[in-house]
């Protein structure tokens, strides 16, 4: 324990909220906790936390209030009865950039400071190497509470705009889910042939690692807005070859619906005369 004396309140004790409160306790901080279901406070009270009888009481107990609830509506509902004046609210509830900006205004109108955060970790990772959290909002507020926030994992400040933490969070999750889609489709094909996913896994992991450079390559092309440089496998060729994926899936008795959106984008982009470009250029079809 570090012997830190700066108190913090944690509102919401699901798996993630409990992990956040536990990390603060491990760092030697006085911690007040609150949850709709009071039973969830008991393990933390055993470790030294103080359970508040209401959310308002919990907010009053500490200058720093960390909120980790189900959604944006829950945050407002829980904080509404509390006196926020003079407090700092750090919202670690998953949400959208627009919700974060609107919540920042709502909290500010009630006399409190505000940071929004995006947690890039599972509950068991909190306080461990590899966990990190995005934060956005006033820089001075982040700096004032950096030491407490660092107990959760690496603290990545991404800007004054309160919506930027959620934006970074959801962008990374988009990449993650895209990868998950491909992995699940690959295993569906393998299992459709009666083969072992476990035996195939090393091949898949190695292939995805080899393709890892695509993120940096695509980023450079997208920032330049030029998809015509160093084209090795052009979009037109890939649009034509992609047809084999749903055909093979059908032969294996497997749906290809996870991959269908990309196929349609490739076909549209090629039909629009961009077949000689890199696959990266399909991003142009995603712009409103």
- Give the CATH number for residue 237: 1.10.1040.10
* pLDDT (average), residues 250-255: 94
What's the structural domain count of the chain? 2
**Rounded-to-integer distance, Cα 272 and Cα 287, Å:** 15
* pLDDT (average), residues 106-119: 98
Give the pTM: 0.93
Phi, then psi, of 30 in degrees rounded to 5: -65, 130
Task: Give yes or no for residue 79 having a pLDDT over 80.
Answer: yes
pLDDT at residue 138 in the model: 98
* pLDDT (average), residues 20-31: 97
- For residues 31 and 103, membership in a common domain is answered with yes
* CA nearest neighbour of 148 among 268, 9, 47: 9
- For residues 13 and 124, membership in a common domain is answered with yes
pLDDT at residue 36 in the model: 95
pLDDT at residue 6 in the model: 83
What does the block give as tokens for 236? 């037109």
In a domain, 3, yes or no: no
* pLDDT (average), residues 90-94: 97
- For residues 219 and 147, membership in a common domain is answered with no
In a domain, 178, yes or no: no
What does the block give as tokens for 182? 């491909």
Task: Give yes or no for residue 2 having a pLDDT over 60.
Answer: no
In a domain, 244, yes or no: yes
Give the pLDDT band (50/70/90) at residue 264.
very high
Q: Could you report the per-residue pLDDT of 159-216, keeping only the tens digit for each?
A: 999 999 999 999 999 999 999 999 999 999 999 999 999 999 999 999 999 999 999 9
Collect all residues with Cβ–Cβ distance below 8 Å to 113 and sequence separation of at least 6. 87, 88, 89, 107, 137, 138, 141
In a domain, 39, yes or no: yes
- For residues 68 and 149, membership in a common domain is answered with yes
Q: What is the extent of the structural domain holding 243?
A: 196-286
pLDDT at residue 4 in the model: 58
């Amino acid at each position: 324990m570090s012997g830190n004396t700066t108190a913090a309140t944690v509102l919401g004790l699901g798996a993630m909220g409990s992990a956040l409160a536990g990390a603060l306790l491990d760092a030697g901080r006085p911690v007040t906790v609150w949850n709709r279901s009071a039973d969830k406070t008991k393990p933390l009270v055993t470790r030294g936390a103080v359970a508040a009888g209401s959310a308002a009481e919990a907010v009053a107990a500490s200058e720093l209030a960390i909120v980790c609830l189900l959604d944006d509506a829950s945050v407002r509902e829980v904080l509404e009865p509390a006196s926020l004046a003079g407090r700092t609210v750090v919202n670690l509830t998953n949400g959208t950039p627009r919700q974060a900006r609107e919540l920042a205004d709502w909290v500010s109108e009630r006399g409190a400071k505000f940071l929004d955060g995006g947690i890039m970790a599972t509950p068991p990772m909190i306080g461990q190497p590899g966990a990190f959290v995005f934060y956005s909002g006033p820089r001075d507020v982040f700096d004032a509470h950096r030491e407490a926030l660092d107990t959760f994992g690496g603290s990545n400040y991404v800007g004054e705009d309160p919506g930027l933490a959620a934006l970074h969070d959801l962008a990374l999750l988009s990449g993650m889910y895209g990868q998950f889609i491909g992995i699940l489709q690959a295993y569906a094909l393998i299992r459709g042939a009666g083969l072992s996913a476990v035996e195939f896994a090393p091949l898949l992991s190695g292939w995805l690692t080899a393709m890892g450079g695509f993120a940096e390559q695509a980023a450079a092309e997208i920032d330049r807005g030029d998809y015509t440089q160093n084209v090795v496998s052009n979009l037109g060729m890939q649009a034509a070859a992609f047809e084999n994926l749903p055909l093979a899936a059908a032969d294996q008795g497997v749906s290809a619906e996870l991959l269908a959106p990309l196929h349609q984008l490739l076909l549209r982009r090629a039909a629009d005369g961009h077949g000689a470009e890199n696959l990266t250029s399909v991003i142009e079809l995603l712009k409103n």
